[in-house]
Amino acid sequence: MSHAAARIDETRLWQRHVDMAKLGGLAKGGVNRQALSAEDAAARRLLGEWAAARGYDVFGDAIGNLYVRRPGTENDAAPVVTGSHMDSQPTGGKYDGIYGVLAGFEALEALDDAGVRTKRPVQVVAWMNEEGSRFQPGAMGSAVWAGHYDLAAMLAVKDRTGVVLADALRDTLTAAPCRQVDGFDRGFHAYIEAHIEQGPRLEAERKTIGVVTGIQGSQRYTVDVTGEEAHAGTTPLRVRKDALKSAVAIVAALERHMHDPADVVRFTVGRFECKPGSPNTVPGHVHFTIDFRHPDAAVLARLGDGIAKVAAAAAGPCKVEVARITDVPPTVFDPRIVDLVRAQATALGLSNMDMPSGAGHDAMHVAPFCPSGMIFVPCERGVSHNEAEAATPADLAAGARVLVEALHALADE
């Protein structure tokens, strides 16, 4: 163990999670800290205070990504970067995303406490709106940074109450001001993101560290079914254009389309809104979302290309509009980074295993620009996107030790 890993402070890292979990804390122990909310602004302010106390440089970009930078002796060299996201699901857990930001920050502090001067700057990024539960699509901050989504188009996105993202971002930066930089600096030397696994494998196989080899591909859609509002008591079935009845038939047809006996396809309808929502009016409009994933790009394309046809065939008398919102290909991490993570975990005497990620992460947008990888730590029963999400102080610190060792090695290249 180098002196940096020895300076990872389990208690300090745990307490920072406790402090962050108060921001948007929920009764059942989870958090609701959605992107650009007052709770998100409070988290940005808190991270900024911790960073200022260490003399780190804090700055933000035009889509609200937040950066904390520890200088290197060659401060103009491309930085080694780590991080994740601070926004959460509406009924999210205390570790999803925030662990990657806090493990990265803990790594900076451990480098300080060990008196390590790295050649390259080491930078922590908190990507804006990874979850996409308030403003769609998700992984927005990293996708705009990567040039996948147009900045102006994302700034114009509205949440379900009609709030425009640009206004929410302005309010957030008013509440949590920091130096703003122009453009998006994609000149990273390398990127490693630490995250809870959000699945059951590490716990089941009694491993402490997941050496992540890649991320499965994903596609997201919105579906709008339009029928005709009518009186529930007087309108005969034969003349109805019942949007709910059609939407239910469409979802059932999509379930058949996505059926996979090998249980590899991940198909989810997470949002389903029926209007006008009055008990005695035949629904005239249903809006629902589709999220589906697969590690094989060809399967993803085949199933995704079939969605509109399946929906149209099941729509009955209603109109259906299918829109593809995101299409993220499978990510394969750089073997050099994967090997480095595995070697550092092994050198630290931590049990580890190679594994793919079922969940999406900002690393999928960074990987095309620089050698990238991820480090997983276990979460209890693999539960995530749920207030019951749980992890242990020891596992969180173990992941941070692997992270600081890998960052230190890369920052001296």
Least Å distance, CB 384 to Mn ion, is: 7
Strands 230-231 and 281-282: antiparallel
* Cβ-proximal residues to 331 (8 Å cutoff; 6+ apart), any chain: 214, 215, 217, 363, 364, 367
CB of 351 to ligand HGY, least distance (A): 24
| Residue 360, binding choice from Mn ion, ligand HGY, none, Cβ under 5 to 8 Å by partner class | ligand HGY
- Give yes or no for residue 157 binding ligand HGY (CB under 6 A): no
Over the window 314 to 353, marking each residue x when it contacts ligand HGY by CB under 6 A and - when it does not, the resulting string is ----------------------------------------
Q: How far is the CB of 359 from ligand HGY (least distance, A)?
A: 4
Residue 31: both structure tokens together:
């958090």
The residue from 87, 106, 109, 130 that contacts ligand HGY (CB under 6 A) is 130
Min. distance of Cβ 375 from ligand HGY in angstroms? 16
Query: What letter does residue 274 receive in the DSSP assignment?
Result: E
The distance of closest approach from Cβ of residue 326 to ligand HGY in the complex, given in angstroms and rounded to an integer, is 10
By CB under 6 A, tell whether 362 contacts ligand HGY: no
Q: Report in angstroms how near the CB of residue 57 gets to ligand HGY at its nearest.
A: 28
Residue appearing with tokens 């989870």: 30
| Binder of residue 197, out of Mn ion, ligand HGY, none (CB less than 5 to 8 A by kind) | none
Task: Single out the segment in contact with Mn ion by CB under 5 A; choices: 94-102, 159-167, 235-243, 261-269.
Answer: 94-102
Nearer to ligand HGY by Cβ, of 195 and 285: the residue is 195
Q: For residue 120, give Cα distances in angstroms to 40, 165, 188, 213.
A: 29, 34, 10, 25
- Which of Mn ion, ligand HGY, none has residue 64 at its interface (CB below 5 to 8 Å by kind)? none
Is position 359 an interface residue for ligand HGY (rule: CB under 6 A)?
yes
Q: What is the CA radius of gyration of the chain?
A: 22
What SS3 class is residue 146? coil
Which does residue 138 touch among Mn ion, ligand HGY, none (CB within 5 to 8 A, set by kind)?
Answer: ligand HGY
Binder to ligand HGY among 72, 83, 104, 138 (CB under 6 A)?
A: 138
Interface with ligand HGY, residue 98, by CB under 6 A? no
Binding mask 97-116 for Mn ion (x = CB under 5 A): x-------------------
- Residue 37 CA: distances (Å) to CA of 172, 362, 384: 7, 20, 21
* Residue 121 in tokens: 């700057």
Closest CA to 246 of 217, 224, 222, 215: 224
Residue with tokens 């949002």: 271
Of 97 and 284, CB closest to Mn ion:
97
Q: Find, among 190, 170, 181, 150, the residue nearest to 335 by Cα.
A: 190
> CA 363 to CA 15: how far, in whole Å?
26
Give the C-alpha separation, 72 to 120, whole Å: 5
Q: Give 2 or 91: the residue with its C-beta nearer to Mn ion.
A: 91
Q: With left for phi above 0 and alpha for psi between -120 and 50, is residue 24 left, alpha or beta? A: left
Nearer to ligand HGY, 131 or 389 (CB): 131
Nearer to ligand HGY, 379 or 411 (CB): 379
Q: Which amino acid is at 278?
A: S
d(CA 166, CA 160): 15
Supply the angle between the helices 38-54 and 10-21 in degrees, to the nearest 10: 150
- Report if residue 93 touches Mn ion, rule: CB under 5 A: no
User: Rounded to the nearest 10 degrees, how much is the dihedral formed by the CA atoms of 399, 401, 406, 411?
Assistant: 130
121 vs 360, which CB is nearer to ligand HGY? 360
Q: Does 87 bind ligand HGY (CB under 6 A)?
A: no
**Which of 134, 130, 133, 107 has the alpha carbon at shortest distance from 118?**
107
Q: Does 210 bind ligand HGY (CB under 6 A)?
A: no
Nearer to ligand HGY, 36 or 359 (CB): 359
**Span of 34-42, 130-138, 177-185, 297-305 interacting with ligand HGY by CB under 6 A:** 130-138
Cβ neighbours of 358 (radius 10 Å): 17
Cα separation of 397 and 178, whole Å?
A: 29
Residues that bind Mn ion (CB under 5 A): 96-97
Footprint on this chain of ligand HGY (rule: CB under 6 A): 130-131, 138, 359-360
